Amino acid sequence: MRKTLITSMAMASIAFSGSAFSAWTGWNIHNQNYPITDALESFMENAEKVTDGRVGGTLYNGGVLGSQGDAIQMMQIGSIQFAGFSLGPMGTAIPEANIVSLPFIFKNVDHMHRVLDGPFGERLSDAMSKYGIMSLGWYDAGSRSFYNNAKPIVNPSDVEGMKFRVMNNELYVGMIEALGGNATPMAFNEVYQSLKTGVVDGAENNPPSYESTNHYEVAKYYSLSHHLIIPECLCVSTKAWNELSSEDQTALKVEAKKSVAMQRGLWSKREAQSRSIVEKAGVEFNEVADITAFSSAMKPVYAKAIKETPVLASYIETIQSID
């Protein structure tokens, strides 16, 4: 787990220009050679160049600084300044973020891009910013599907009685319960061991995560339910952001856009590669019989989320009005 150190140019710039140097610390759950890792590294390298070293950073990969739940708090208290966060576990700290955790909220990944690359993405980032975290851009994490060590999931009834790991967010517990299963919220780095030792029967994630974590070695049935399409963000601390000059903010926004474009390109290639790696290792992919049987089971999940966070009702309407 290498960390990326970017200091030399920044230090030279302090010596020569006397300008303020913001040394940002960054959190990332994934390891090297993963789309979001490459994109975050590239963002920080370029940030340093375009601000003449006024912003420089160290990215800690592989979740070495802690789970995402820990990292959200660290950003809120100011001990990290940038991160590649999944919006999944973020709903616990920022209820508005739960909008993208609603199962089947997006028609597909392109629809998610159309929604988040427009005014709705800014609205969501503004809502997050009240909690000290803002998004400079939305990375891809494809769609998530179920995988387990017992059988293909074809109908919702196949989930009955099975135990699935979910990300730390009560909304996902409701999602599994709505299908008749049991859910165990757990940090990402604990899932492999839990699958291997039978603490859980299965989990759910996108193919690159399933492959990069070796979960496929211990859960061979991957069933294409595509129940969640959760974006990830190039997130920065609102406080650190507000300390920058407006010129540096503008320059970083441009770099964030480039980083997002890079990540999305890497992501689509990685999805195909991951699928082929796991298929060669004997994983069986299956389509589910009827996606609407899964989506219509989600009504109680929507009702509970709206009850807890009423603004989600208008968010849902906005998303559904975007083609």
Nearest-approach distance from CB 321 to ligand GCU, in angstroms: 28
Rounded to the nearest 5°, which phi and psi values hold at 44?
-70, -40
List CB contacts of 196: < 8 A, sequence separation 6 or more. Answer: 218
Sites for ligand GCU among residues 3-32 (CB under 6 A):
29
Name the token pair of 55.
């912003």
Residue 141 sits in the site that holds ligand GCU (CB under 6 A): yes
Provide the mask over 92-131, with x wherever binding to ligand GCU is found by CB under 6 A and - wherever it is not. Answer: ----------------------------------------
> 3-state class of 268 per DSSP?
helix
Residue 68 sits in the site that holds ligand GCU (CB under 6 A): yes
Query: Is the CB of 193 or the CB of 296 nearer to ligand GCU?
Result: 193
Sites for ligand GCU among residues 223-242 (CB under 6 A):
232
Nearest-approach distance from CB 167 to ligand GCU, in angstroms: 5
133-139 vs 232-237, strand pairing mode = antiparallel
Q: Which of 205, 223, 237, 238 binds ligand GCU (CB under 6 A)?
A: 205
Nearest-approach distance from CB 83 to ligand GCU, in angstroms: 10
Nearest-approach distance from CB 288 to ligand GCU, in angstroms: 20
Query: Could you tell me which residues are beta bridge partners of residue 39?
Result: none
Query: Is the CB of 87 or the CB of 305 nearer to ligand GCU?
Result: 87
Nearest-approach distance from CB 209 to ligand GCU, in angstroms: 3
CB 177 within 8 A of CB 183: yes
Query: Is the CB of 24 or the CB of 85 nearer to ligand GCU?
Result: 85
Write out the E strands in the chain: 3-5, 22-27, 55-60, 82-86, 133-139, 144-148, 163-166, 182-185, 202-205, 221-228, 232-237, 284-287
Rounded to the nearest 5°, which phi and psi values hold at 143?
-120, 150
Residue 188 sits in the site that holds ligand GCU (CB under 6 A): yes
C-alpha dihedral (208, 84, 99, 191), degrees to nearest 10: 50
Query: Is the CB of 85 or the CB of 221 nearer to ligand GCU?
Result: 85
CB 82 within 8 A of CB 234: yes
Would you give the end-to-end CA distance of the chain in angstroms?
41
- At position 228, the amino acid (one-letter code) is L
Query: Is the CB of 140 or the CB of 248 nearer to ligand GCU?
Result: 140
Nearest-approach distance from CB 165 to ligand GCU, in angstroms: 8
CB 56 within 8 A of CB 44: yes
Residue 86 sits in the site that holds ligand GCU (CB under 6 A): yes
Q: How far apart are CA 115 and CA 218, in angstroms?
A: 36
Residue 301 sits in the site that holds ligand GCU (CB under 6 A): no
Nearest-approach distance from CB 63 to ligand GCU, in angstroms: 8
Query: Is the CB of 205 or the CB of 223 nearer to ligand GCU?
Result: 205
Residue 167 sits in the site that holds ligand GCU (CB under 6 A): yes
Query: Could you tell me which residues are beta bridge partners of residue 285?
Result: 222
Rounded to the nearest 5°, which phi and psi values hold at 138?
-115, 120
Nearest-approach distance from CB 173 to ligand GCU, in angstroms: 14
Query: Is the CB of 167 or the CB of 175 nearer to ligand GCU?
Result: 167
Q: Which of 81, 135, 209, 237 binds ligand GCU (CB under 6 A)?
A: 209
> For binding to ligand GCU (CB under 6 A), which residues are involved?
29, 68, 86, 141, 167, 188, 205, 209, 232
